[in-house]
A and B are shown apart, each in its own frame.
Chain A
């Protein structure tokens, strides 16, 4: 066999590997690369640190995956993070016990997600517009309520949620993993998950197959809102305060993670594992570049390049 045959076989093999594991391979390459470049990178401490830093956006991305799978988008998640933080901390500062304040925080996202869902379905306004409006409304409310000032008066045990560890693993990391296990099960094992794919793949066919498409859509926005709130609580706990300007531009990081993970913005195609890897890919990149002392301005450029590359690879894979 001539030499060319061998290389094309190797290429074929790589292609097949990539077909199967997709973006996971990219993450693996990234991990190997950074562990060569920096001795601090591949240490238990640092890896746990990456998961901790990524957990906030990764949790939101799990919910966003459902929304994008239906062909929608949720731009309000970043603002929800702030609003939830404010509501939760201010509730606690006015002496509400944590056991009530935390569910109240989750309710914020759930209720606003429900409202978004109603606008998207019953009033038939495109999700982009509804959630864009929700974004500025929530952000505005957070500033109005606090008059632009952070809320510091929180009970000391509140900070455990975001800063504590369980068997050396950061609590947000554990929560994130839990969220992904539940999200995976919901998406790939339950009737609801199947309906999400169906509605996103072909809404009219879904309706004619007997699926209540409105119900599915509303549920998806509730889920996205509630997970944004969960992240909002964790972030407030990490900062030990409610900050009206927290979560700024998170929606973009989250959408990037979902898209890098191979979910199609037109709906119907994508996986929850992909999103997890997508979020980690971006998280690892940021962390690695930090360790290498790359300036944050350069990092922004590189994250953008990675997003383009990931989507490009996905396009090539489909051909």
Chain B
């Protein structure tokens, strides 16, 4: 098979960092080529070079063996290169059809009036190509995340893409939606489109990939067929050293009860009950939208509780705001820490102190010396990698950002910590560190709740797992009962078989 795209010895220098150091990447027609690496490995830089968002400093790009120059996104699109980003670039108020054909709408003759019947027909044809049929008149904001992604793919196809790069396309998809995405990818493959697939989720890569390329620290590490790799070798290539165990689990004695939730309802959450003990890591499994984060927010006082009771150390509590929950000793490390957890324009110490400034007041003023010493303390005990605690959080990596949030909650003297998707967007090596931190917290007598959509992580880290489905709790599994199948069955609302009861 001939090569569709060949990027040869690509070099990109940023001030102080060599982001791409002679990286080569090759893509054939009709293959799914997975691009792997930790954050900062150079994946996105390479894709930005391809999309024309940034200019390379050296190297060559060939499409169908002809050298091409890519200076701008428009040029990249003309060459048949399509990009699908994690955060979609759609106009919510416009219809599906208008979004798909944005920028090259069919017009009535030579006029500049849009030919709407033709527009919808064309959009329908493209969607049909993808095996999807939905109303092209619907405004995009009414669609589900998965549907939006289909629109995004259709949009790329409308420009006759031959090379389609997808950056973490599965990040916010449910299991069933992922199946649809894979079906679409297979269809595109059969039509000869070359697909570059970027994902942190290794299971997916084994399911959909044909070949893979691993980057590390801006260097090309490995290219091979998926068949020649396994989970462990992939991780080692990515991290650059042996990781013996992905999940460092320690066995702990279950302590006394710390949090009890009884028949709580509110929003989508319907009649949830569970008890959390000291010294255990209590997991929540289920599909995206099953109500796990909603339950966490109710416990944290951020969402309204309509029914039920919550007990902390045996005493009933009813926090009506995050402030009240924090003062009671509950902390929530939100999912999507960048949007709901951190203040990018504030520095590390200010992000750590923000929930407990009361403790740092000297008269009406914030005692900045004390603030710095508190921040330094957490920064070193959690091993936050930074030149200084005055560093803005926006300059930190995902793992270090998560540690900053954790430091904030430790400083509020929380005794119950709820981690919502604690390792999303975090490198394999740092994930390991986060798991160790979770263990340490459990060991130190915190009540630890982990909500995760990463099934192997949940099974590897937790002592018990509660599973939710459509707002209800469908079961709680003990560690001896753990299996992917059982969690998935509960997560899709099926009853477990007799022997499990």
Contact A191 B357 (CB under 8 A): yes
Which A residues lie within 8 Å of B322 (CB)?
207-210
CB-CB contacts of A275-290 with B at 8 A, as 1s and 0s? 0000000000000000
Contact B343 A191 (CB under 8 A): no
Contact A190 B364 (CB under 8 A): yes
Most chain B C-beta atoms within 10 Å of own C-beta, residue among A190, A207, A209: A209
Contact A197 B343 (CB under 8 A): yes
How many Cβ-Cβ contacts under 8 Å join chain A to chain B?
A: 72
Which B residues lie within 8 Å of A38 (CB)?
none
Docked complex Cα distance between A263 and B22 (Å): 41
Which A residues lie within 8 Å of B345 (CB)?
197, 201, 268-269
Docked complex Cα distance between A189 and B322 (Å): 24
Contact B344 A202 (CB under 8 A): yes
Considering the complex, give the chain A residue whose CB is closest to the CB of B344. A201
Which A residues lie within 8 Å of B368 (CB)?
189
Select one of A189, A205, A211 contacting B366, CB under 8 A.
A189
Q: Which of B127-135, B199-207, B261-269, B332-340 contacts A (4 or more CB under 8 A)?
A: B332-340
Select one of A194, A197, A205, A212 contacting B342, CB under 8 A.
A205
Which B residues lie within 8 Å of A206 (CB)?
343, 354
Contact A207 B354 (CB under 8 A): no
A19 interface residue (CB < 8 Å to B):
no
Contact A198 B354 (CB under 8 A): yes
A45 interface residue (CB < 8 Å to B):
no
CB-CB contacts of B311-342 with A at 8 A, as 1s and 0s? 00000000001110111000010100001111
Contact B341 A208 (CB under 8 A): yes
Contact B344 A194 (CB under 8 A): no
B361 interface residue (CB < 8 Å to A):
yes
Contact B366 A209 (CB under 8 A): no
Docked complex Cα distance between A189 and B412 (Å): 20
CB-CB contacts of A171-207 with B at 8 A, as 1s and 0s? 0000000000000010001110010011001101111
Select one of B323, B346, B366 contacting A210, CB under 8 A.
B323
Docked complex Cα distance between A141 and B434 (Å): 61
CB-CB contacts of A51-77 with B at 8 A, as 1s and 0s? 000000000000000000000000000
Contact B339 A191 (CB under 8 A): no
B408 interface residue (CB < 8 Å to A):
yes
Contact A191 B341 (CB under 8 A): no
Within 227-249 of A, Cβ neighbours of B (below 8 Å) are at none
Contact A194 B340 (CB under 8 A): no
A12 smallest CB distance to B (angstroms): 12
Chain B interface (Cβ < 8 Å from any Cβ of A): 300, 302, 321-323, 325-327, 332, 334, 339-346, 350, 353-355, 357-358, 361, 364-366, 368, 408, 412
Chain A interface (Cβ < 8 Å from any Cβ of B): 185, 189-191, 194, 197-198, 201-202, 204-212, 268-269
A-B contact pairs, 16 of them (CB 8 A): A189-B365, A190-B364, A190-B366, A191-B366, A201-B344, A202-B339, A202-B343, A205-B343, A206-B354, A207-B302, A208-B322, A208-B340, A209-B322, A209-B355, A210-B355, A268-B345
